[in-house]
Amino acid sequence: MSQKIRLSWLQLSHEKAKLFAAIAGVMVSVVLMWMQLGLMNALFSSAVMFHDRLSADLVVVHSQYESILRSRSFSARLLYRLRGSEFVEDVVPVYIGTTDWKNPSTGGRKSIQVYGIETQKLTLSALGVNEHRQGLREEDTFLFDRLARPGFGEVPQFIADGQEPEVEINRRRMRAIGVTELGSSFGVDGNVITSEANFLRLFSQRRSGVIDLGLISLSEGAEPAVVRPQLQAALGKEVQVLTREEFRSLEIDYWQKATPIGVIFSAGTVVGFFIGFIVVYQILYTDVTNHLPQFATMKAMGFSGRYLVRVVLGQSFWLAVLGYVPGTIVAGLLYSGLKAATQLPLELSLLRGVALALATLFMCAMSGLLAIRKLSSADPADVF
């Protein structure tokens, strides 16, 4: 095989301009596929940053719940009913609201998502929550999301400098005592975590005991999927009990249906694939055509058709490797640039890396196989 690979390489690299054009084509294709898949994944996973940080075993939501941004409130009394169950260790109510944030530097207003949650218990494994349990017990304190989009002022910098800046939220003066990380997403530019009591002070129109989520932690040994039907039965039809995974996929499903993101980025990925496919096909086709007399000569001298096919596929292999590696490096650079600008969770994940490497190999091999059909017109009898 090594000799064929070498022959492929020599044939491919013989014309430098063509080689670079082909590599550039594969690179563009690889970068496009990385960007499309990465952005799609980042957008969807940014919508479940909060979900991913919950430490509950089961989550209770209203029966008509659609998304964390479109939650419907229900009575906490339903939730408290579960405290009697032998499977349930504890329940925690969560309040969610959206309100105005006044930028302390510019005075500009921006909408912010506020989570009111019992932080004395281990409910949220987000950055900062544990360290600031004590501080969050005080009146009008909160944690600010340092992954928020720009426009909320320099709150994280003040906190880093050891200050506790005061900010006007919903016309109420609140004190930022620390930072957390939840990140921006669809319709959410930034987040605030505060205690249940502070939430109710901030949203004077919201009544205590009318909650948006109920978190359930189960007793030792209780399986979420097993006890869920029993808890559901105990709560009736007004609410639904979800496992954490269900809660998470409900959110992603919502955004998949509500936005054309899935379709757009999938289409973008396919376009990326075909750009590479067409470029490689064009290059290999002209290459096979130009070398037809030599291929015919080799056939006449006793080289098998399979040998020649492998020479062409060897070229596909080289193009795949030489396009994939720099393409992935470029994608990585673009990822880190975009990540800094948008806070989107863009990662060169290993799984996607392997999938894209296979897609690139497949793309180049298919182009090669299509170009090879031209080989059959190399009639060795015409060499003489």
Partner 1 sequence: MILTDELVISGQEISFWFGEGELRKQILFEVDLQIQGGEIVLLTGPSGSGKTTLLTLIAGLRTMQSGSLRVLGMQLSGASSSLLTQLRRRIGFIFQAHNLLPYLSALQNVQLMFELHPDVSAVEGRQRATEMLERVGLGHRKDYAVSRLSGGQRQRVAIARALVTKPELVLADEPTAALDGTSGREVVNLLRSLAVDQGSPILMVTHDARVLDIADRIMEMQDGRVGAPTH
Reading the block at residue 94, the tokens are 């969560």
Q: Applying CB under 8 A, does 300 fall inside the site for partner 1?
A: yes
Number of residues counted as binding partner 1 (CB under 8 A): 22
233 binds partner 1 (CB under 8 A): no
Residue window 91-110: x/- pattern of binding to partner 1, with contact defined by CB under 8 A: --------------------
Decide whether 7 or 252 has the Cβ nearer to partner 1.
Answer: 7
Q: How far apart are the C-alpha atoms of 252 and 79, rounded to whole Å?
A: 25
- Residue 139 corresponds to which tokens in the numbers above? 């009146």
Which residues on adjacent β-strands are paired with residue 227? none
Binding mask 249-288 for partner 1 (x = CB under 8 A): ----------------------------------------
For position 383 contacting partner 1 by CB under 8 A, the verdict is yes
Stretch that binds partner 1, among 45-53, 246-254, 295-303, 350-358 (CB under 8 A): 295-303
What are the distances in angstroms from CA 14 to CA 8, 23, 28, 248, 283? 10, 14, 22, 53, 13
Closest to partner 1 by CB, 237 or 306: 306
Which residues make Cβ contacts (< 8 Å) with residue 83, sequence separation at least 6?
90, 91
Region binding partner 1 by CB under 8 A among candidate stretches 118-126, 162-170, 303-311, 361-369? 303-311
Residues 6 or more apart in contact with residue 45 via CB below 8 angstroms: 52, 345
Selected binder of partner 1 within 186, 274, 285, 303 (CB under 8 A): 303
User: Which of 64, 111, 208, 294 touches partner 1 (CB under 8 A)?
Assistant: 294
DSSP letter string, 129-142: TTTTHHHHHSTTEE
Question: 3-state SS of the chain: helix, strand, coil percent to 5?
Answer: 55, 20, 25
Q: Is 362 a binder of partner 1 (CB under 8 A)?
A: no
Instruction: Quote the CA–CA distance of 316 and 152 in Å, as a whole number.
Output: 51
Query: Which are the contacts of 171, defined by CB distance < 8 A and separation ≥ 6?
Result: 100
Site membership for partner 1, residue 315 (CB under 8 A): no
* Per-position DSSP letters for 213-262, written without gaps between them: EEEEEEPTT--HHHHHHHHHHHH-SSEEEEEHHHHHHHHHHHHHHHSSHH
Query: CA quadruple 3, 7, 8, 12: dihedral positive or negative?
Result: positive
User: For partner 1, which residue of 16, 161, 221, 384 counts as binding (CB under 8 A)?
Assistant: 384
Any contact of residue 17 with partner 1 (CB under 8 A)? no
Nearer to partner 1, 228 or 310 (CB): 310
| Binder among 17, 233, 301, 350 for partner 1 (CB under 8 A) | 301
Instruction: Please tell me whether residue 307 binds partner 1 under the rule CB under 8 A.
Output: yes
Q: Is 381 in the site for partner 1 (CB under 8 A)?
A: yes
Stretch that binds partner 1, among 21-29, 34-42, 273-281, 300-308 (CB under 8 A): 300-308
Does position 377 bind partner 1 by CB under 8 A? Answer: no
- What is the binding site for partner 1 (CB under 8 A)? 3-4, 7, 10-11, 13-14, 291, 293-294, 297-298, 300-304, 307, 380-381, 383-384
